[in-house]
Copies of this chain bind each other. A is one copy, B any other.
Amino acid sequence: MMKVTVWNENRHEQTNEKVQEVYPKGIHEAIADFLTKAGVDTRTATLDEPEHGLTEEVLEQTDVLVWWGHVAHHEVSDEVVRRVQQRVLAGMGLIVLHSGHFSKIFKTLMGTSCDLKWREANEKERLWVVQPNHPIADGVGEYIELEKEEMYGEHFDIPSPDELVFVSWFQGGEVFRSGCTFHRGMGKIFYFRPGHETYPTYYNKDIQQVIINAVKWAEPSNRTNPVYGNAKPLEDVPGE
């Protein structure tokens, strides 16, 4: 059975009543909940645990890591970021949610600023499926509608995604590439836009379905990693 770790900064939940109301046990537990119900072996980890809950042992036993962060990106230690990057390059899947676009780990793996436009105006978001045969869109209709969400708008400063699965429409007039796959090393990465802390987005059945699909899609393959470095020739090299 695949093993998922849901990581959450878990700070808004300590300080903002609105967020406490929506996610009384924290965003991480809300996500772990529906993953567990979907038959995935799920644990959680948060910023304030030792090593942010992401020790070598935990990562070694994690097939796919889900990441939610916002106000405390800078508090994540560079050492843990490096550790997570190494694990992704070695094959661990990574699902980056919403404001995780500005996390150190996502920026490190992308190489760009990952900047974007944003606005909190309780506006409608509609996520259109633009690659309908992608496994991450399985079981989802033509679009997902969220009555109220934070707006993220283009230009989104990421490398061109390997696959573009969702594009969002916002009531205020913007669009956004809101479901993007990337592969880095042996690891598969999915960025998924929705999930502002003051809205009940992670209770939406379609949003849950996409995250469940993404976790399965990002599962590491069963293969030996490539060999790098000095290599003997496989054919005669006369000049040698």
Contact = CB atoms under 8 A, between A and B. Distances in A.
Interface stretch (A4-12, A44-52, A180-188): A180-188
A82 B140 CA distance: 29
Nearest to A123: B237
A77 interface: no
A111 B159 CA distance: 11
Interface string A220-235: 1111111111111111
Query: So how many copies of this chain end up in the complex?
Result: 4
Contacts of A85: 111
Contact of A233 (B123, B132, B140): B123
Given A173-B234, A182-B159, A115 B239 contact: no
B126 A173 contact: yes
A224 B129 CA distance: 12
A138 interface: yes
Contacts of A121: 233, 237, 239-240
If over half of A's interface residues share one DSSP class (helix, strand or loop), that class is named, otherwise mixed; here it is loop
Interface string A163-178: 1100111111111010
A131 interface: yes
Nearest to A178: B175
Interface in A115-167: 115-119, 121-124, 126, 128-135, 137-142, 148, 151, 153-157, 159-160, 162-164, 167
Interface of A: 85, 89, 91, 108-113, 115-119, 121-124, 126, 128-135, 137-142, 148, 151, 153-157, 159-160, 162-164, 167-175, 177, 182-188, 220-235, 237-240
